[in-house]
Homo-oligomer: A and B are copies of this chain.
């Protein structure tokens, strides 16, 4: 019985990694459409997002079944509860990739406002945060999780830089306004992806240490190394 439960947890973990891989691919693909200006690349986006959605439902059902049938405690309970949260984050990340794709499709039929430099870099940063936060969770690597949390400042830096630069373009040539706003919104979608990755990293820490580090609750709640009773 115990063995069986562990195997079921392993199945969930594997599915979660697959789901994360798909979400990451979607981010890359959405930016690739924008950069390459090749709209045929968008065909796979919607079917891929559907698969992410299905995976969420499948994984969530698996978690709920294990919660109901095995009534796990401590680490296993935290694993299942965290997984239920993380599927939600990954699903939203895929949604954001769809939003980026939609904006990209509007943009690529019109002249470029400017060569894209910071947006692809910001996308690489956000996508790396998604990968590392999920790796941190499945490998129980809290050091990696904490490294993800520190990248928030870089995300903010890109966001502000992109905004300022595009504002200059809009002011000097009002014909660019609509396209520049789409680019600003893309940077905001990337910011949200990074936010979701941060949430996953916080879940990784919670899972391993039993501490809630959201809103820095951990700092006040427990000295390092102390874990919660459940």
A98 to chain B minimum Cβ distance, whole angstroms, is 12
A8 at the interface (CB under 8 A from B): no
Chain A 78-113, CB-CB to B under 8 Å as 1, else 0, gives 100100110010000000000000000000000000
Nearest-CB residue, chain B, relative to A74: B68
Question: Which of the residues B53, B170, B178, B215 comes within 8 Å of A174, measured between beta carbons?
Answer: B170
Interface centre among A68, A174, A185 (most CB of B within 10 A): A68
Partner of A68, one of B77, B170, B177, B178: B77
Q: Is A71 an interface residue (CB 8 A)?
A: yes
Nearest chain B CB to A214's CB is how many angstroms away? 7
Interface locus among A11-19, A36-44, A59-67, A148-156: A59-67
Complex Cα spacing A228 to B69, Å: 13
Inter-chain CA distance A185–B221, complex, in Å, is 35
Instruction: Count the copies.
Output: 2
Determine if A146 is an interface residue (Cβ-Cβ < 8 Å).
no
**A68 in contact with B57 (CB, 8 Å):** no
Q: How far is the CA of A214 from the CA of B53 in the complex (A)?
A: 8
The contact of A167 among B54, B57, B178, by CB within 8 Å, is: B178
Query: B177, A57: Cβ atoms under 8 Å?
Result: no
Docked-complex contact B170 and A177, CB < 8 angstroms: yes
- Cα-based distance from A56 to B199 in the complex (angstroms): 14
Q: Which residues of A contact B (CB under 8 A)?
A: 50, 53-54, 56-57, 60-61, 64-65, 67-69, 71, 73-74, 77-78, 81, 84-85, 88, 167, 170-171, 174, 177-178, 181, 184-185, 188, 212, 214-215, 217, 221, 228-230
